[in-house]
């Protein structure tokens, strides 16, 4: 039953691979662009099917295009996951051993923390006690910058959090390494690193901020869905981008592609 | 397959027959003797030793390995694939690499090309052409692609070989001064003569008997396989507001390039 991949699928996959992660809006635009470039039948609400075709062919390679949510703004993203990896080996070709160790330690700090974040000071302290090879302050700052550029970490005002790409791609690794330390969001059941926690010590369920925003929308007396205690945190507003991400977009939202010039000779029917 | 079986039953001990009994991966002299001394029965036995699930796994691992190496555009050595990934499945190398090749074509739209048949070095080239209007760049944040394309154009229009000074002078006219640190490219000379050469997009060759030493540029093997000469000519045509056919010599070369690249 597995459909072979057409050039439109291959182009989508290549672009996803070279970008590492794309938002669902970008994915929709890319889907359209790939189908039009290769003269494939295009239907805007068929993106999931389109990706399924790719995933079926990727399965023997232990790869998978997975959808995940940003913990910051609730936007949906697509990233390529390696299902055979049980380590952060996918980073290993880009970083030295001590840099990888620093990443693991940073992730430890973040997972251990209550707010799912680590300050640069804490990370710098780690750099000083690496087992592989110590990193100096300047070197650590450069490596951290690289992590951010390569989309493994987010940084805001000296505080580091796990990026959406990191969470999507390394969820399997994190569940394996951290076991019970990793909790899932009560609402969406996905790994929750940055989250709000129920104040009731006997309860302690976690919810992503975008999930809290959606769950408690319009209610001015929020209660924990599990233990019914008052939910003592500030309820964030639903962000504009969040609502866009969860609805199906009309094709007018995607940027109009330029008409193909002489690509007709090269375009293949898929 | 049947051909190998026929050869295996030949049985004669003459040097010629012994040679033909071998599943010769190629006449390699890279010192890796164990490759050429595989008999077809050894390969058959290896096929029986490992389950198809195990072999499937190896194929997946080789695909991953090559993809990672290719991210950096580093040519991949067969010796490395065997040493780091294939390991004890060595006898099945041909089977595995054939499937890897097919996977690259059918799933990723890439092609595994051997650019050095003596030392067995591969590159992965893109079978899909870059097209205008990509909503997300295929090479995000890579202005170097533009720089490379300009240089490839210069070389192509000049007949395939060009003295380095011609390239530097042309770039200078485009405000890319090889002597100064460039805002986007940094050390331009390093990018062009080192990075692009290592990635096999360009060749930077000494011109013999030149005093002082001079170098010339040619298209590298990756460029030959990946870049459409017709696209280059169309780009030049647009620059000069002329039809590509205006340059008859280059047009002829570009047209024949098209058919061979398919």
Cβ–Cβ < 8 Å for B119, B199: no
| Whole-number Å distance between alpha carbons of A20 and A77 | 10
- Asked if the model's pLDDT at residue B8 lies above 60, the reply is no
Q: Do A15 and B136 touch (CB under 8 A)?
A: yes
- Sequence-distant (6+) residues with CB within 8 A of B253 are B156, B229
Q: Tell me, yes or no, if A264 comes closer than 8 A to chain B by beta carbon.
A: no
Tell me how far CA of residue A61 lies from CA of A80, A124, B73, in angstroms: 12, 38, 21
HEC secondary structure over B23-73? CCCCCCCCCCHHHHCCEHHHHHHHHHHCCHHHHHHHHHHHHHHHHHHHHCC
Tokens at A31, concatenated: 């889907």
Query: What number of C-beta contacts closer than 8 Å exist between A and B?
Result: 83
Give the whole-angstrom CA distance, residue A80 versus residue A84.
Answer: 12
| ipTM tops the 0.90 cut | no
Interface probe for A, chosen from B52, B69, B128, B137 (most Cβ of A below 10 Å), is B128
End-to-end distance of chain A based on CA atoms, in angstroms? Answer: 17
Integer angstrom CA distances of residue B234 from A266, B202, B240: 14, 20, 10
Highest mean pLDDT among A259-263, B119-123, B257-261: B119-123
The most confident of A83-87, A221-225, B184-188, by mean pLDDT: A221-225
Q: Does B141 touch chain A (CB under 8 A)?
A: no
The whole-chain average pLDDT of chain A stands at 85
Q: Residue A39 and residue B253: Cα distance in Å, rounded?
A: 28
pLDDT at position B184, please? 77
In chain A, residues 85-114 whose CB comes closer than 8 Å to chain B: 90, 93
Reduce the DSSP state of residue B186 to 3 states and report it: strand
Closest CB from B109, B135, B234 relative to A10 = B109
Q: Is the pLDDT of residue A269 over 60?
A: no
Match 């051909």 to its residue by tokens.
B3
- Is A151 an 8 Å CB contact of chain B? no
What pLDDT does residue B142 have?
A: 60
Q: Which of B56-65, B182-191, B234-243 has the highest mean pLDDT?
A: B56-65
- Do you know the residue count of chain A? 270
Interface test with B, best of A47, A58, A93, A254 (most B CBs within 10 A): A93
Nearest to A5 among B67, B106, B138 (CB): B106
- Confidence check: pLDDT of A267 > 80: no
Q: Are A19 and B132 a contacting pair at CB < 8 A?
A: no
Q: How far is CA B177 from CA A207, B169, B173, B187, B212, in A?
A: 54, 8, 8, 10, 21
A55 touches chain B (CB under 8 A): no
B55 touching A (Cβ < 8 Å): no
Q: d(Cα B67, Cα A55) in Å, to the nearest integer?
A: 17
Substitution target in B62, B129, B135 with the highest count of A β-carbons within 10 Å is B135
> What's the gap between Cα A239 and its chain centre?
17
* A22, A33, A57 ranked by CB distance to B133: nearest: A33
Is residue A87 very low, low, confident or very high in pLDDT (cuts 50, 70, 90)? low
- pLDDT at position B199, please? 86
Contact B233/B247 with Cβ under 8 angstroms? Answer: yes
Type and span of the H or E element at B129 = none
Partner-chain contact B63 A58, CB within 8 Å: no
Distance from CA of B165 to the nearest CA of A (A): 33
pLDDT digits 0-9 by tens, A157-196: 999 999 999 999 999 889 989 998 999 999 999 999 999 9
Provide the token pair at A153.
Answer: 């970490």
CB contact at 8 A, A117 and A161: yes
Q: Do A7 and B134 touch (CB under 8 A)?
A: no
Is pLDDT at B229 greater than 70 in this prediction? yes
B49, B117 in Cβ contact below 8 A? no
pLDDT at residue B238 is higher than 50: yes
- A19–chain B Cβ distance below 8 A for any pair: yes
Would the pLDDT of B11 be above 90?
Answer: no
Among the partner-chain residues A4, A258, A263, the one whose CB lies closest to the CB of B106 is A4
For B30, the token pair is 């890279």
In this structure, are residues A155 and A144 in contact, taking their beta carbons and an 8 Å threshold? yes
CB < 8 Å to A5, chain B: 106-107
Average pLDDT, integer, range A2-13? 91
pLDDT for B127: 87
Q: What's residue B141's pLDDT? A: 46
Q: A93-102, A198-207, B38-47, B144-153: which range is least confident on average? A: B38-47
Helical segments of chain B, H only: 2-8, 15-21, 33-36, 40-49, 52-71, 78-81, 93-103, 144-157, 164-173, 188-190, 196-198, 221-226, 229-240, 248-261
Distance CA B221, CA B114 (A): 10
- Across the interface, whether the CB atoms of A14 and B132 are under 8 A apart is answered no
The answer to whether A149 contacts chain B (CB < 8 Å) is no
Q: Do A22 and B136 lie within an 8 Å CB cutoff?
A: yes
Structure tokens at A107: 């992730």
Give B 191-250 residues with CB within 8 A of chain A.
Answer: 228, 234
């Amino acid at each position: 039953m597995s459909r072979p991949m057409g050039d439109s699928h291959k182009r989508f996959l290549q672009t996803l691979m070279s970008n590492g992660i794309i938002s669902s809006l970008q994915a929709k635009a890319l889907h359209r662009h790939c189908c039009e470039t290769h003269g494939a039948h295009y239907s805007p609400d068929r993106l999931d099917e389109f990706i399924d075709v790719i995933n079926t062919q990727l399965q023997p390679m232990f790869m998978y295009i997975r959808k995940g949510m940003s913990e910051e703004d609730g936007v949906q993203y697509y990233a390529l996951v390696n299902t055979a990896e049980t380590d952060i080996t996918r980073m290993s070709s880009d970083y030295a051993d001590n840099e990888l160790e620093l990443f693991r330690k940073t992730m430890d700090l973040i997972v251990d923390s209550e707010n799912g974040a680590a300050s640069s000071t804490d990370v710098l302290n780690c750099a000083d006690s690496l087992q592989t090879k110590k990193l100096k302050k300047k070197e650590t700052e450069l490596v951290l910058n690289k992590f951010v550029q390569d989309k493994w970490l987010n940084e805001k005002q000296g505080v580091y959090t796990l990026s959406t790409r990191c969470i999507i791609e390394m969820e399997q690794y994190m569940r394996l390494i951290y076991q019970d330390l990793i909790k899932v969001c009560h609402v969406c059941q996905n790994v929750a690193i940055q989250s709000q926690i129920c104040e009731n010590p006997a309860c302690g369920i976690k919810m992503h901020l975008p999930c809290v925003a959606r769950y408690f929308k319009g209610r001015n007396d929020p209660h924990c869905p599990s233990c019914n205690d008052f939910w003592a945190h500030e309820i964030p507003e639903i962000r504009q981008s969040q609502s866009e991400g969860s609805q199906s977009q009309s094709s007018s939202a995607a940027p109009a592609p330029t008409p193909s010039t002489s690509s007709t000779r090269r375009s293949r029917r898929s | 397959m049947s051909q190998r079986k026929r050869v295996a039953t030949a049985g004669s001990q003459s040097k010629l027959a012994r040679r033909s009994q071998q599943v010769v991966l190629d006449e390699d002299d890279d010192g890796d003797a164990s490759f050429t001394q595989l008999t077809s029965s050894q390969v058959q036995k290896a096929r029986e030793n490992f389950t198809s699930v195990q072999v499937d796994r190896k194929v997946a691992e080789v695909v991953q390995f090559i993809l990672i190496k290719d991210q950096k555009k580093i040519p991949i050595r067969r010796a490395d694939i065997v040493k780091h990934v294939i390991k004890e499945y060595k006898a099945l190398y041909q089977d595995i690499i054939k499937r890897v090749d097919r996977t690259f074509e059918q799933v990723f739209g890439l092609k595994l090309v051997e650019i050095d048949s003596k030392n067995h070095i591969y590159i992965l080239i893109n079978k899909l052409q870059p097209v205008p209007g990509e909503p997300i760049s295929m090479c995000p944040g890579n202005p170097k692609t533009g720089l490379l394309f300009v240089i490839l154009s210069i070389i192509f229009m000049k007949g395939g070989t060009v003295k380095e000074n011609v390239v530097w002078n042309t770039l200078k006219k485009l405000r890319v001064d090889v002597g100064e640190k460039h805002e986007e490219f940094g050390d331009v000379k390093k990018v062009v003569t080192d990075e692009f050469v290592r990635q096999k997009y360009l060749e930077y060759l000494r011109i013999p008997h030149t005093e002082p030493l001079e170098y010339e540029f040619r298209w590298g093997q990756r460029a030959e396989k990946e870049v459409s000469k017709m696209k280059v000519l169309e780009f030049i045509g647009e620059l000069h507001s002329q039809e590509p056919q205006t340059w008859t010599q280059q047009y002829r070369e570009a047209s024949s390039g098209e058919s061979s690249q398919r």
